[in-house]
Amino acid sequence: MGVIIQDIRVICTAPEGINLVVIKVETNQPGLYGLGCGTFAYRHKMVQALVEDYLKPLLVGQNAENIEQLWQLMHQNAYWRNGPIENNAISGVDMALWDIKGKLANMPCYQLFGGKCREGIPVYRHVDGRDLSEICDNIQRFQEMGITHLRCQCGGYGGGGYGKAPATAPMGAPDGVYLDSRAYIRDTVKLFEGIRDKIGYDIALVHDVHERIAPVEAVRLAKELESFDLFFLEDPVPLEQSEWLRILRQQTSIPIAQGELFNNPAEWRGLIANRLIDFIRVHISQIGGITPARKLQIFAEQFGVRTAWHGPGDMSPIAHAANIHIDLAAQNFGVQEWSGIEPPNFVIQELKGPKGALLDVFHGLPEYKDGYVYANDQPGLGIELDEAEAAKYPCEATVTQWTQTRLRDGSLQTP
Ligand code: MG
């Protein structure tokens, strides 16, 4: 008879201005359900419709214990595969099935993945500011909290923030995030020189190019940053330009982390097998959840590539927990991005509740203490959702602005 899926529900909530999509898989066993993250913050209604209209009819009546089989069923059902909306919807169900599996075993998920390789997870936090002294102050604040890895940026990614077209743009140019790659490269090199000068070499530093410059400029930036001993350079080129990583690799030994936009194995397989990256950085819900992420992690281990899963504010605490559970059991774990309980420095919609409302909606978050994040030891992923609280913060579909990144002439550049 087994554990039969009886219902699949989608709960959309935006307690801190970011649209979060939670999938709840309910079973025929009294009180046994799982929660997963299918957050695609900028297309949340699409994920909701896909789960409610297609995955629920496909899965109700199936045995929730057969995670691999159900993952393949979802993955192959629409014939066309690996789209971001589809993958996030699949992820929501997949994580919920692992949550159920852990509850059935009465074990936290990291035990199902082989048990702990380490007790706590070292994380990196994000630091930016207007100038070197503000950035160094922010670095020191994190150091006092025990943080050992920091991602440092001059202003926004690529140096810009959303606003009106600057005077240097052509007449009639649209609003956007205007980039000046030459100024950005100069400022970034100066920033790392200044940080090493003022703070020293004890702290591990990361920088995120966020695909916002031309590939050949990324090669130059990487070479110029090499002497500042970066832990890694993040997303130097767009995924469509990943063959440039071979050229970059030939010219510098700077460690490369790539992949928060990856959708499918064809995008990472060659980069890992040819040792063109050092850290794989996928967004776990974006590739379809825990099931494909575990396969990827084990594949990467064979080639000496470490993990640094994407961990931004625009994903739910359930996804953060999934990252941490995989990290705990991964021999080839590198570092974990940790936005923790803080929303990113932009919001999609006006905050409906107080800052910190995320903690009213989600309970059991992995906890940060003195440089490390710890999972709780509850069965499954260990996160609970207060549905009544979640309902207080409805999601809104709005036009996404921060992705409208533009070159000086107003034409678009990948965000
Ligand atoms: Mg990034």
Residue 294 lies in a domain: yes
Residues 91, 109: Cα–Cα separation, whole Å = 15
* In a shared domain, residues 89 and 156: no
Q: How far is the CA of 235 from the centre of ligand 1 (A)?
A: 6
Radius of gyration for the chain, computed over Cα atoms and rounded to the nearest angstrom: 21
pLDDT lower than 50: segments of the chain:
none
For 47-71, the pLDDT digits (tens) are: 999 999 999 999 999 999 999 999 9
With beta carbons less than 8 A apart as the criterion, state whether 289 and 91 touch: yes
pLDDT at residue 356, rounded to an integer: 78
* In a shared domain, residues 129 and 234: yes
What DSSP letter does each residue of 136-198 carry, written as one string?
A: HHHHHHHHHTT--EEEEEESSGGG--EESPPTTSPTTPPPEEE--HHHHHHHHHHHHHHHHHH
DSSP H/E element including 384: strand 384-385
* In a shared domain, residues 21 and 136: no
Residues 325, 376: Cα–Cα separation, whole Å = 10
Q: How far is the CA of 31 from the centre of ligand 1 (A)?
A: 38
Q: Write down which residue in 108, 134, 161 finishes a domain.
A: 108
- Its domain, for residue 273, covers 111-377
**Structure tokens belonging to residue 250:** 């030939």
Residues 148, 205: Cα–Cα separation, whole Å = 9
Residue 138 lies in a domain: yes
Q: How far is the CA of 283 from the centre of ligand 1 (A)?
A: 10
For residue 208, what are the β-bridge partners?
A: 234
Residue 399 lies in a domain: no
210 catalytic? Reply is yes
* In a shared domain, residues 218 and 270: yes
Residue 201 lies in a domain: yes
Residue 382 lies in a domain: no
Catalytically annotated residue among 210, 283, 310, 325: 210
HSE (CB half, 13 Å, CA atoms) of 372? Answer: 9
* In a shared domain, residues 246 and 132: yes
What phi and psi values does residue 369 have, to the nearest 5 degrees?
-150, 120
Residues 24, 38: Cα–Cα separation, whole Å = 10
With beta carbons less than 8 A apart as the criterion, state whether 354 and 17 touch: no
HSE (CB half, 13 Å, CA atoms) of 196? Answer: 15
∠ CA(124), CA(271), CA(233), 5° rounding?
30
Residue 368 lies in a domain: yes
Q: How far is the CA of 172 from the centre of ligand 1 (A)?
A: 31
**Structure tokens belonging to residue 165:** 């077209």
Which of 13, 124, 48 shows the shortest CA–CA distance to 386? 13
Residue 229 lies in a domain: yes
* In a shared domain, residues 260 and 163: yes
Catalytically annotated residue among 33, 110, 157, 372: 157
CATH of the domain at 84: 3.30.390.10
Residues in the chain: 415
pLDDT at residue 159, rounded to an integer: 86
DSSP class of residue 23?
E
CATH of the domain at 195: 3.20.20.120
pLDDT at residue 229, rounded to an integer: 98
- Residue 164: left if φ>0, alpha if ψ -120 to 50, beta else—which one? beta
* In a shared domain, residues 102 and 133: no
Q: How far is the CA of 42 from the centre of ligand 1 (A)?
A: 17
Residue 198 lies in a domain: yes
Q: Write down which residue in 62, 86, 108 finishes a domain.
A: 108
* In a shared domain, residues 188 and 299: yes
With beta carbons less than 8 A apart as the criterion, state whether 241 and 215 touch: yes
* In a shared domain, residues 95 and 132: no
Q: How far is the CA of 164 from the centre of ligand 1 (A)?
A: 24
* In a shared domain, residues 92 and 150: no
CA 393, distance to chain mean position in Å, is: 22
Angle between the N-to-C axes of helices 244-251 and 215-225, in degrees from 0 to 180, rounded to the nearest 10: 20
* In a shared domain, residues 100 and 147: no
Q: Write down which residue in 108, 142, 176 finishes a domain.
A: 108
**Structure tokens belonging to residue 167:** 């005077």
Domains held by the chain: number: 2
Q: How far is the CA of 56 from the centre of ligand 1 (A)?
A: 32
∠ CA(326), CA(281), CA(36), 5° rounding?
45
CA 357, distance to chain mean position in Å, is: 21
* In a shared domain, residues 86 and 19: yes
Residues 12, 9: Cα–Cα separation, whole Å = 10
